[in-house]
Structure 1
Amino acid sequence: MTSAHDNPRPTLDPMDLAGIDDLLSDEEKDVRGAVREVCAALVDPYVAEWFESGDLPGIRELTKELGTLGVLGMHLDGYGCAGMSAVAYGLACLELEASDSGLRSLVSVQGSLAMFAIWRHGSEEHKREWLPRMAAGEAIGCFGLTEPDHGSDPGSMRTRARRDGTGERADWILDGAKMWITNGSVADVAVVWAQTDEGVRGFVVPTGTPGFSAPLIKHKLSLRASVTSELVLDGVRLPHDAVFPEVRGLKGPLSCLNEARYGILWGAMGAARSAFQAALEYSTQRSQFGRPIGGFQLTQAKLADMCVELTNGTLLALHLGRRKDSVGLRPEQVSLGKLNNVNKALEICRTARTILGANGISLEYPVIRHMNNLESVLTYEGTPEMHTLMIGQALTGHAAFR
């Protein structure tokens, strides 16, 4: 008769102390491994240089590689999309952001904003025209909601779409501006949300349309390895069928933001993992006072705290992913994940920076890059204040921001 004492203890992985890997299927691990392998080959050796130069060279070639990998709109069904699970998509986001938040942002905007908007709200013609090319990385999309003066309050947007003529087949004319738009300057198609006489509506805008321009935003100190732009719509004329046929109001764009926020709550843990791993390795190699700094109690306390928060955030992401795959997620549950995981990821990066000392601000290590990137991730797709109030409303039944 054998007992538990007769079985050898499983080997502990310092990067997965709780054994979360045991909760993943072989297919999920394969997805994660494939994304990690591509990132290691095509992104990791170069991303610090991209960040320093404030550029993402070869973005079209990289997007095609990501399309070949199958991660663009990978959680959508049909039209050339992979139809993978929410957990598989989340793991892909984690690996992408472990390389850089800008890379995950490229994939999120393509798949969870632009493609999802067309997939969920577009006409059959919109889907057939754009989704297969976007899934393959042959066409790049962007998502125009945020405006220069209206971020957390999209209902006050000033971008306007009006009919030019009478009847259902009259053209649309769009005027306005959008701000902080990922992929904008390289996009082939923009999903643009505008006020109409019928409320907020979404439009599929080929970026070659006269009157459309996308000036590049420069002087960023965060998400530097990412294309960020303004969208300018100056009398953009679109055919009658450029509009999403059914959806009205903010439920359209907010449904897309919920998809993107789900990817973020996974991705933030990728940035946190990268910073934690760098700090852990550094603590065993850097010696002071005659021994590695990892041998001092204060350093071990920092590493233990980072490990706990990384574990908790990853488990929360996995739980929300399993729930999304089984019964679906409410927006408040996504807010819970985004608020917690981005905040904790920032704390992990800042703590890792202290372990690396002066080297923590060098691009020879990934920590300061992740820390700067997460300052953008903290406020895009909903500021921490807005997610806090979403949770507060769910708890009390009172909307504090209306």
Structure 2
Amino acid sequence: MGNENINESIGRGISVFKNIEVLYPEYVPSYLPHRELQLRLLEQIFKPLLTDPGSVSIRAMLIGGVGVGKTVTARVFSRNMKKLALENNIDLKYVHVNCHRDRTLYEVVSEIIRQVGAPIPLRGLSPREMLLALLSHLERHKQYVIITLDEFDYFIRTAGNDAVYFLIRLYDEYPDAVKRLNYIFISRDITVLGMLDSTTESYMLKHLVKFEPYKLVELYDILIQRRDLAFYEGTVDNDVIKYIAEHEGVDRGGEGNARSAIEVLLHAGMAADNEGAQRVSIEHVRKAIAIIHPDVVRISDELNNLDLHELLLLKAIIRTLKEKNMPEVKIGDVEEEYRYICQQYGVEPRKHTQVYEYINNLKHMEIIQARVSGKGYRGRTTLIKISTPLDPLERRIDELIEKRRK
């Protein structure tokens, strides 16, 4: 059976992959191994939404490091909740906002309204007016919403205490209203809550769901699941999966980062394809580990939050760094390359002010480093560099550009 599948993959153009997208960060599996406890806790916390909808505005906070399953758990939970709500004749919507991308209160509320699909004209309205209009829309249509604010620590730092207070305490002003907004907050650590006033902080900590780094056996199960979905049968042996799990498992000295482990499996498969190999070997895994800088995995996740022009600009930075063969390049050279790339893709380039804002955003997201030039340069300019390997980064950017343009 294994050889038949390998022959089939050869017939398709020599690839070990049957569905590579299963290994991408945005993929949400039908079943989530080793996050059953967290899912049960969320079900318990949000139970009133099914048994007595609108009686209370529910909030939960998910805490844990990078790659421990917070985001995917929120998505799987919401999918399960929507199914249960439908069975109970409750119209429940799910909204997922990444606060790295939508950084201000206005952007967050706008994105919530967009994902809900409420026909609210946003121009000229304050965030408060927008949110009240949304509440009226939900009331008219008898709808409820679970809103996940991902990278919430970033929102706290950017928008501040008043914005957080406004979002989560709005119903304090309308105690008799049906509570149609519910929240899941996702943060890497709990210390950022110290930036809030004590009342808001205690409000946030009422329902805390913690995520620990993955152990070897847990990563093994996760990788087996993804392998069976992503690769042709017989192309990735269990020994290869175990090797990756041992490298990444927190109990074996790794970070316990599932995202990183899946990224290694992806690049090992790509290495096999590049060589025309019929199977993924441990040597391919070694090559993948050598390619993947610790920051590549994190940045790969962050890229999903960029819009088309930010991706085009990032591609321009990479191209300029390669062409100049320099550790840093000037923003003027990058802009010239960016305009050329826009022309290639048939899109109108953004003006300098917007490009500069994109540069600052990419810097805040720690995808690039940017600084003002000092000695050795005529005048003052912004110098840009990228510390992570450029080739795998550019490949991922190209994939996302094509998706954005569809």
Q: Shorter-chain TM-score: what band?
A: under 0.3
Larger C-alpha radius of gyration, 1 or 2? 2
Greater percentage in strand: 1
Task: Please give the TM-score of this superposition, normalised by the length of structure 2.
Answer: 0.24
Task: Please give the TM-score of this superposition, normalised by the length of structure 1.
Answer: 0.24
